[in-house]
């Protein structure tokens, strides 16, 4: 699928089966600051595309669709209303209008921070966070009553596994949160890529199965 015009948030890739029961929204990484538009050469977006594609086939068998969001700009740009958070809110609104299904957010790095920030959306059942960027003091209240499954490698020199572990401990006071140590691997999901994908897949399935089990 070709990239849409840069400058607006967009669903660049969709793998949605007929009659889906739920959706996984993949949120790619970025940078602390930066107003350059996200284009096809963005490594963060490319990593998100690879992750989404690797999840799409097995989740199709579960009647779960996978959608990849591309942000408008590269940075978090925290000014009280971070850019990727606005984009993710737009995405959840668009998905609700078209599908009105339960959603699991799958985020890498800044995408995981974005996922946590919008987890209070009514459609969101939980968050799968891969090597997340979760600074000390990050708000856990959007996760109230939600599920968080977070994984981090001890070899990560970009974001902090210790900060993720501390965040998970606080999030567990308001919801169902669990931390998984991925071992001596770095930030970019390259080493043990199958293990990262397996963790994300298991997390999505666990969150959705818990939801449907409760509803049944």
CATH superfamily of 10-215: Alpha/Beta hydrolase fold, catalytic domain (3.40.50.1820)
pLDDT tens, residue by residue, 42-86: 999 999 999 999 999 999 999 999 999 999 999 999 878 999 999
pLDDT in tens, 123-163: 999 999 999 999 999 999 999 999 999 999 999 999 999 99
Domain boundaries, the chain: 10-215
Q: Is the pTM of this model over 0.75?
A: yes
Bridge partners, 181 (sequence order): 152
Q: State how far the Cα of 149 lies from the Cα of 128, in Å rounded to an integer.
A: 5
Least confident of 6-20, 57-71, 184-198: 6-20
Beta strand extents in the chain (DSSP E only): 10-15, 22-27, 64-70, 103-108, 124-130, 147-152, 176-181
């Amino acid at each position: 699928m070709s990239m849409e015009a840069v400058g607006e948030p967009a669903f660049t890739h969709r793998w949605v089966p007929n009659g889906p029961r739920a959706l996984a929204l993949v949120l790619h990484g970025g940078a602390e600051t930066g107003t350059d538009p996200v284009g096809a050469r963005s490594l963060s977006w490319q990593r998100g595309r690879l992750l989404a594609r690797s999840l799409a086939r097995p989740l199709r068998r579960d009647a779960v669709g996978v959608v990849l969001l591309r942000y408008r700009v590269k940075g978090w740009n925290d000014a009280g209303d971070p850019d990727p958070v606005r984009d993710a809110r737009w995405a959840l609104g668009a998905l609700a209008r078209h599908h009105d299904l339960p959603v699991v957010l799958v985020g890498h790095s800044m995408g995981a921070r974005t996922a946590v920030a919008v987890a209070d959306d009514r459609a969101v059942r939980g968050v799968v966070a891969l090597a997340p960027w979760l600074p000390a003091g990050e708000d856990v209240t959007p996760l109230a009553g939600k599920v968080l499954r977070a994984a981090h490698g001890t070899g990560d020199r970009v974001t902090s596994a210790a900060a993720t572990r501390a965040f998970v401990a606080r999030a567990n006071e308001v919801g169902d949160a669990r931390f998984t140590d991925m071992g001596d691997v770095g930030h970019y999901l390259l080493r043990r890529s199958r293990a990262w994908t397996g963790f994300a897949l298991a997390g999505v399935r666990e969150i959705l199965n818990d939801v449907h089990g409760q509803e049944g």
